[in-house]
Amino acid sequence: MRILEGCLIVISVLAGVTGYAEPDVVDCSKKSLADAVRDASDKNSTITFTGICNGPVVVTIDGLTLRGVGTAIIDGAGADALTLAGTSRVSLMDFDVTNGLTGIVVRDGSHVSLTGVNSHDNALAGVLIQTASSTTLTDVNVTSNGTIGVAVDDGVSVAAKSSTFTGNVVKDLQLTFGSRVSIQNLVVGTYTCDATVLVRGGTITCPH
């Protein structure tokens, strides 16, 4: 009897650990990612998703991690595909953003990190960061967007690490109006910046 009770306790503990190890995956062929993000109410939660997910997706909760697995794409369908508005400690990981007006919009003092994210084939900018937001871009690729690859404006702070901004139609990087940028191992094609911009690292010279 004691052996049976011990086994039941071990099974219960393992079941509890397994329950917390991996969050449920949102399969966008069956469920809306936009709805899952909108309905998230707990700070510091994680939403893992897979498939082609219809945008627009809007994040307004602090501490959210949005992570793709397998083929994970947010399709903007002509609207801004993914918007982060007034959020803190948000992490975006391992997915593509495409077919939006703008791919990713970070605004209103948001604090966001992007890791392993690709933003491509959007009508305007691939990534737009504005209004006193701060963003860390690591292993991010921004290519083939209709105007600007990454647009940084209005008192924004950005750290770009091991990322590539190339092949965008007008400019690959645009820095304006008091933005501050730290660069490590950035591959960038064409860029423009004004005299109010402070850049550390890399070979970007402002004004340009």
What is the distance between the alpha carbons of residues 158 and 179, in angstroms, rounded to a whole number?
8
- The percentage of the chain sitting over the pLDDT mark of 70, rounded to a whole number, equals 89
The better pLDDT of the pair 199, 41 is held by 199
What does the pLDDT average to over 107-122?
Answer: 98
What is the distance between the alpha carbons of residues 87 and 54, in angstroms, rounded to a whole number?
21
Q: 199 has which bridge partners?
A: 181
Chain segment 14-25, per-residue pLDDT in tens:
444 433 334 689
Q: What pLDDT is attached to residue 42?
A: 76
Backbone angles phi, psi at 115, to 5 degrees: -135, 125
b/e string for 80-118 if b means 16 or more Cβ within 10 A?
A: bbbbbeebeebebbbbbbbbbbbbbbbbebbbbbbbebb
Q: What pLDDT is attached to residue 41?
A: 78
Structure tokens at 45: 């939660």
What does the pLDDT average to over 121-140?
Answer: 97
163 near 139, Cβ under 8 Å? yes
Return the DSSP state at 60: -
**Domain coordinates of the chain in residue numbers?**
25-200
Query: Which bin fits 109, alpha (ψ -120 to 50), beta or left (φ > 0)?
Result: left
CATH of domain 25-200: 2.160.20.10
Chain segment 63-114, per-residue pLDDT in tens:
999 999 999 999 999 999 999 999 999 999 999 999 999 999 999 999 999 9
Query: Which bin fits 153, alpha (ψ -120 to 50), beta or left (φ > 0)?
Result: beta
Residue 116 pLDDT > 50: yes
Q: pTM of the prediction? A: 0.89
Residue 2 pLDDT > 70: no
